[in-house]
Structure 1
């Protein structure tokens, strides 16, 4: 199996208001997010790629236009956790690139959430 990944960055605010009021994530706060999309294939295309990285540019545009410097709770209709973001970006990518295997999202340098069906 061949695997490639590409990393994207954005900054956004969110608030997990469904948590108890003394939980730090219940307060309005922000993160510098990292999104890593992974694509996988058993064989390479005629150019020798799983997929040309340039073809992933629509994800950068989607992230920049929809998420960067926005409030995530105004965009998503589910709690704006890293886990839900990973699933959201996975579904968005899978609809465009069948090779999508997983998406990871980081809120901090030490924390990651991954969606991999």
Structure 2
């Protein structure tokens, strides 16, 4: 099994509904996002997938989130924009674009600080 990882970033504000504590108030993070793609075979070019393909697809997803108030965006109007839900949102958007039978998105990690993160993967 081959695995490829890219790391990128976005900044956004959010507030967690029904949370007792500081995170219920409006605040922001500079999220670091790790995207993992895996597959069993390499293409004729010796690559699992070009890093640029994964980076470009990820950037298109993050452009929707970057420098926004996440609670105002459709995916998070009724669902809390937690790191867990952000990781799942990015995972599902990327899987819809990148999964092709040979490669698939295996995991997304959303770091909201240098020491706190959440990941999403499918079994």
TM class, shorter-length: over 0.9
TM-score by length of 1: 0.92
Where structure 2 has 5 or more consecutive residues not aligned to the other structure, the ranges are none
Aligned partner of 1:18 in structure 2 is 18
Aligned partner of 1:104 in structure 2 is 109
SS for the counterpart of 1:84 is helix
TM-score by length of 2: 0.88
Alignment of 1:5-84 (within 5 A): 5-20=5-20, 23-56=21-54, 57-64=56-63, 66-75=64-73, 76-77=76-77, 78-84=79-85
Aligned residues: 114
- Superposed CA deviations along residues 85-114 of structure 1, whole A, max 9, x for unmatched, are 010001001101111111000000001100
Q: CA RMSD of the aligned region, Å?
A: 1.0
Where structure 1 has 5 or more consecutive residues not aligned to the other structure, the ranges are none
4+ residue runs over 3 A deviation: none
- Aligned equivalents of 1:74, 1:45: Cα separation in 2: 41
